[in-house]
Structure 1
């Protein structure tokens, strides 16, 4: 069935793709040759490729289309991409008081339609960001952006950003840029053409987006690197069932998969050892953690605590009742690490051990808080049953396995868990679309998330101003967590340049978060990427995945 799906996609794209699919595999990687089509299995369809409007999936895949001023290397050090240099106080681009930053573009950059990229586009992007009619989300909703006072073009290649206060995240600004010439006014929403079909400076252009079916990218004829990209096209085939997508990769019908989970890795490693024509790059546990997001409110109403999860004792008991090591050992073959900190990577990492598995202590905590077991074994307090919905993306058999382990762990201490998985578009949908997490219409949700390089954006997601509402639909605080102390230290850290002082503040934030338990970390993912040997030029950089290097991909014939 999957082979037929991809054959139809290839036929629709022309004979080149069909020939590429039929090309024999070779262990030797020849010199890059232009032409051909790469096929990517996409389990979760993004809402947009425009990083102004999208979060994790769309932002990462969008790297093939839309580029930022800077890009982190494998060690997390920022390097110039569209920028000519890194602005610093040493080179005079950052003022002594850190309130002014001059950004300089590389000369000769063009949009994918051939129009020049200039500083006017960055001024326009800021105007669109601050326009009340726009609906920025994802990378645009960060403390770094919120601290901009003004953006002024000096000339075609230089623009100056004035800050309201010192802004340590200034290198994370403008990883998105909008083409001024494609807008009648500085307003961008999900319905604008630049949402799904954005112009960019990246190696590829979105040619077609068939909702629920496929996204077709074609070579950008105005890409800044001569002779690149090598591929003619990249087709992202939407396959909501992870098992079907995995089998497609193992059979050579798919060139790569977005994203293999930790649970996929044992299968991939075993398949490679058995001779399947795939490559695997392991990246350790630098970036991603699997989380249980706990709804702290009653259906997103900040004035009403959740009838069960609003009790800190229940959250503590859940934390103690879950056997995380069992998940790592039984589901992931030992791949993964335990962590108790929401700041677990990079310079700001805070070493907080994972809560030990202790169901007896969990039961004691619940008893002391007045949660008594009923005749059916489910705890009750004030006529409220400790019964919770538990949701993640449907069709993910690996997650379903450890959902069942968690379900049993919590049953053992008197908490009833009802697994009700749903499609990603339902769980992670926008506020106006009735997304369960945005609306607070859930109890426990499970997903993988993390931060890139600097924790300023990640920590800011969990502050009170980030709580979603009808007036703030772009909010990212899906736990509806609100703590004044946490807000204060995270806000201070977002305005300090001194790294030592920032680390102290983030340590306070991490300890506050761990004590409140608005979300529970399950494990730090062993992260890897797998791709077919017919696809050459693939590199895996932990912060970006393989997508930022798509210009180097080629068909290894």
Structure 2
């Protein structure tokens, strides 16, 4: 597979920490069995092209697939594309598709599905791909039945990172073409190419997937059935794992103190591997269209009033690292030469006084992201600190679907979110700050309403740079400006732990972890 030297140089490895050894190499894979996991919270939909919330990706990753996957070192791996080539000028990308692939309804997977996905479906429905295709892609064509060619208007150094499951889930043209994508009935009965098919979704109880007998990889998948259990209570999720009702716990399924306890059980393995592609970074999302958040000094004041080290240590049980930049420290182009916000209440009150904001005149609705008790505790702490500054604050609880709609419609004062970085800031970070990405309909765009033409230009310059040093300089300047403006309240870099019974083999194999197709995963009988 030919790649330009410029792009090869960009594939930087990110090492994860494994707490326990993987399955012994001598073991021979067996087929059959049922794997029990947890969908927390219950996803609003399984249609990955319309919703990229964590639970949707977890379940949907077994149904849908992208053109590529990525190793733990972020090396390119085949998925629906078996080969790829990049022209020396970095403007032409040619993907060769796998043969013999079928959709779950038996229809053949074709090059037309890929072109429809790229040029129509995701252009309309996906915030990251919409930006990429509108900004960089000149044409998408097919010179033969097994090839798709993307011709770019200008170089885009992150382009090969843009084809994993959550960024580029290939959808069936025969199901979606000519329909309203968001109301298509297939969103509730998804049709993909993945190793498992939807059998039943019993709302509030479980999502049941079964083996795809016509899967395009011979002899796979090895497991017969997957159950994603819906268990709203965190303590009950821990008990379910301890008793063996559940085999796998994903990052966020249980409280931090339970991670420590459950990891010590006999017959249990844990790892922080499988998050290299995502490197999630949590932040406060405040609506810059509304006071007091439309005031830069007020935002700076609030940042100084929040002890982020306390949040990591006491609410997240040390499973994180205080964020200093919108770029995770584990990713390319990170710099700590930025404006910093140490916890300092005196400084916070001084800045608030300078801002002209009278805090007693403002009631702030604090809306937790509904992903578990630790997010609730984080919201409670931030509410407390706002009140310390003199603001009135009230908690507004909401379910996952309601949260997604509120953020998508910009109907919030202050909430919480986290960004997946997707191997390159042009994909995972820029989308939250580019003024061109202020769009309704998704909770993962520039929902705060930040507009800075200098930042826009720096992100564009860096993403289009052929020279690594030029990109580094532009990204460094962007980080300085963003941390001075603080359009999102940077909190911490998440450190997620996956826990599983050691009868489960080959669970975390790539840089997208348990969102990867579990076609090679097996259960020791």
TM-score, length basis structure 2? 0.85
Whether the 8 Å CA contact 2:72–2:273 is kept in 1: the answer is no
Q: Distance in 2 between matches of 1:402 and 1:51?
A: 28
Residue 101 of structure 2 corresponds to residue 109 of structure 1: yes
Q: Distance in 2 between matches of 1:209 and 1:436?
A: 25
Give 1:535's match in structure 2, choosing from 475, 499, 504: 504
Q: Distance in 1 between matches of 2:95 and 2:462?
A: 23
**Structure 2 match to 1:270:** 261
Residue 37 of structure 2 corresponds to residue 40 of structure 1: yes
Give the 3-state SS of the residue equivalent to 2:183 in structure 1: coil
Give the 3-state SS of the residue equivalent to 1:84 in structure 2: strand
Give 2:394's match in structure 1, choosing from 415, 418, 421: 418
Whether the 8 Å CA contact 1:309–1:315 is kept in 2: the answer is yes
Give 2:478's match in structure 1, choosing from 497, 509, 513: 509
**Structure 2 match to 1:552:** 520
Cα separation, partners in 2 of 1:217 and 1:188, compared to 1, 3 Å: farther
Count of aligned positions:
492
**Structure 2 match to 1:79:** 77
CA apart distance, 1:231: 1.2
Residue 460 of structure 2 corresponds to residue 491 of structure 1: yes
CA apart distance, 1:78: 2.0
Q: Radius of gyration: which is bigger? A: 1
Give 1:326's match in structure 2, choosing from 306, 310, 314: 310
Whether the 8 Å CA contact 1:151–1:159 is kept in 2: the answer is yes
Whether the 8 Å CA contact 1:317–1:365 is kept in 2: the answer is yes
Q: Distance in 1 between matches of 2:339 and 2:53?
A: 27
CA apart distance, 1:411: 2.6
Give the 3-state SS of the residue equivalent to 2:35 in structure 1: strand
Whether the 8 Å CA contact 1:70–1:83 is kept in 2: the answer is yes
Q: Distance in 2 between matches of 1:496 and 1:129?
A: 28
Whether the 8 Å CA contact 2:90–2:156 is kept in 1: the answer is yes
**Structure 1 match to 2:271:** 281
**Structure 2 match to 1:314:** 298
Give 1:177's match in structure 2, choosing from 150, 165, 170: 170
Whether the 8 Å CA contact 1:37–1:235 is kept in 2: the answer is yes
**Structure 2 match to 1:441:** 411
Whether the 8 Å CA contact 2:127–2:444 is kept in 1: the answer is no
User: What CA RMSD, in Å, does the superposition of the two structures yield over aligned residues?
Assistant: 2.8
CA apart distance, 1:145: 5.9
Q: Distance in 2 between matches of 1:30 and 1:154?
A: 44
Give the 3-state SS of the residue equivalent to 2:480 in structure 1: helix
Q: Distance in 2 between matches of 1:252 and 1:353?
A: 48
Cα separation, partners in 2 of 1:244 and 1:232, compared to 1, 3 Å: same
Give 1:154's match in structure 2, choosing from 143, 158, 164: 143
Farther off after superposition, 498-507 or 523-532: 498-507
**Structure 1 match to 2:13:** none
**Structure 1 match to 2:366:** 390
1:42-57 to 2 correspondences below 5 Å:
42-57=39-54
Whether the 8 Å CA contact 1:66–1:176 is kept in 2: the answer is yes
Gaps of 5+ in 2: 1-22
1:356-391 CA-partner distances (Å, limit 9, x unpaired): 11111111111222345xxxxxx34xxxx2431111
Cα separation, partners in 2 of 1:160 and 1:53, compared to 1, 3 Å: same
Whether the 8 Å CA contact 1:242–1:397 is kept in 2: the answer is yes
Cα separation, partners in 2 of 1:444 and 1:363, compared to 1, 3 Å: same
Residue 63 of structure 2 corresponds to residue 65 of structure 1: yes
**Structure 2 match to 1:7:** none
Q: Distance in 1 between matches of 2:156 and 2:27?
A: 46
CA apart distance, 1:36: 2.0
Q: Distance in 1 between matches of 2:271 and 2:214?
A: 31
**Structure 2 match to 1:99:** 91
Give the 3-state SS of the residue equivalent to 1:360 in structure 2: helix
Give the 3-state SS of the residue equivalent to 2:61 in structure 1: helix
Q: Distance in 2 between matches of 1:202 and 1:139?
A: 22
Give 1:222's match in structure 2, choosing from 204, 214, 224: 214
1:111-143 CA-partner distances (Å, limit 9, x unpaired): 334443332222232342388xxx412553342
Cα separation, partners in 2 of 1:48 and 1:491, compared to 1, 3 Å: farther
Whether the 8 Å CA contact 1:204–1:218 is kept in 2: the answer is yes
CA apart distance, 1:342: 0.6
Gaps of 5+ in 1: 1-26, 89-93, 298-305, 373-378, 429-434
CA apart distance, 1:60: 4.3
**Structure 2 match to 1:465:** 436
Q: Distance in 1 between matches of 2:317 and 2:351?
A: 32
CA apart distance, 1:99: 2.9
CA apart distance, 1:506: 1.9
CA apart distance, 1:42: 1.0
Cα separation, partners in 2 of 1:546 and 1:48, compared to 1, 3 Å: same
TM-score, length basis structure 1? 0.81
Residue 346 of structure 2 corresponds to residue 360 of structure 1: yes
**Structure 2 match to 1:249:** 241
1:453-491 CA-partner distances (Å, limit 9, x unpaired): 11212212321222234xx66872221212221222223
Whether the 8 Å CA contact 2:117–2:171 is kept in 1: the answer is yes
Give the 3-state SS of the residue equivalent to 1:365 in structure 2: helix
Q: Distance in 1 between matches of 2:439 and 2:444?
A: 4
